[in-house]
Structure 1
Amino acid sequence: MAAQTETNKGALKKLKTYFRGVKAEVKKVNWPNRKELINHTAVVIALCSIVGLIIWLFDTLVRGLLSFIIG
């Protein structure tokens, strides 16, 4: 039983050390300001829309081609 308690204490100590490291790394992050965040979000939405449009166009063309060949 004592060995298990020691193992639990060691695991708890490692967990605390891990979260202290995470906290230190989060403090180092260069967080974007509101303007940068809005700008980057707009870029992501625009690019996702463009890629979605390209996929839709390709799907429509392939479906039409297969319909022409099969039907």
Structure 2
Amino acid sequence: MANKDRQKRSVRKARAAERKELEEKHAISSANGSKKATSAPAKAQAKKSEPKKVGFFGRIKNWFKDVKTEMGRVTWPSKSELKNYSVAVIAMLVVFGVAVWLVDTGVVAALIGFTGLRG
């Protein structure tokens, strides 16, 4: 809960700082008597921030770059961990395979007993 409160506080501080900057800009523009002075840089900055359109092959290239960086972030298991995980998975497959086999055999036996048919 404390972490959430800290995040809220920091967001409030950031918003207050933004408001203060906007008020300062507004005060400067009103002192100059020109409201267009603040809108022109905003338009220029908006044009600069527009993303450049990337073609099909560019998107594929970016996707492979992203995959490469994500693979670098992955925590790979050591050989001993890999062996342990593999044994655990194989053991669980065997256990669940036997369980499914037993349930299937029971259901078939119940159907044969209920209907009296041998199939």
TM-score (norm 2): 0.51
Q: Deviations over 1:34-68 (max 9, x none)?
A: 10001000100011111111100001111111111
Match status 1:56 vs 2:101:
yes
Runs of 4+ residues over 4 Å off in structure 1:
none
Match status 1:25 vs 2:70:
yes
Give the alignment partner of residue 87 of structure 2, picking from 36, 42, 54. Answer: 42
What is the rounded CA distance, in whole Å, between the counterparts of 1:23 and 1:51 in structure 2? Answer: 36
What stretches of structure 1 of length at least 5 have no aligned partner?
A: 1-8
What stretches of structure 2 of length at least 5 have no aligned partner?
A: 1-53
Q: Structure with the greater relative contact order (CA < 8 A, sep ≥ 6): 1 or 2?
A: 2
What is the rounded CA distance, in whole Å, between the counterparts of 1:36 and 1:56 in structure 2? Answer: 30
Q: How many residues are matched?
A: 63
Percentage of pairs with the same residue: 37
TM-score (norm 1): 0.83
Pick the structure with greater CA Rg. Answer: 2
More helix by share: 1
Task: Name the amino acid aligned to 1:68.
Answer: G
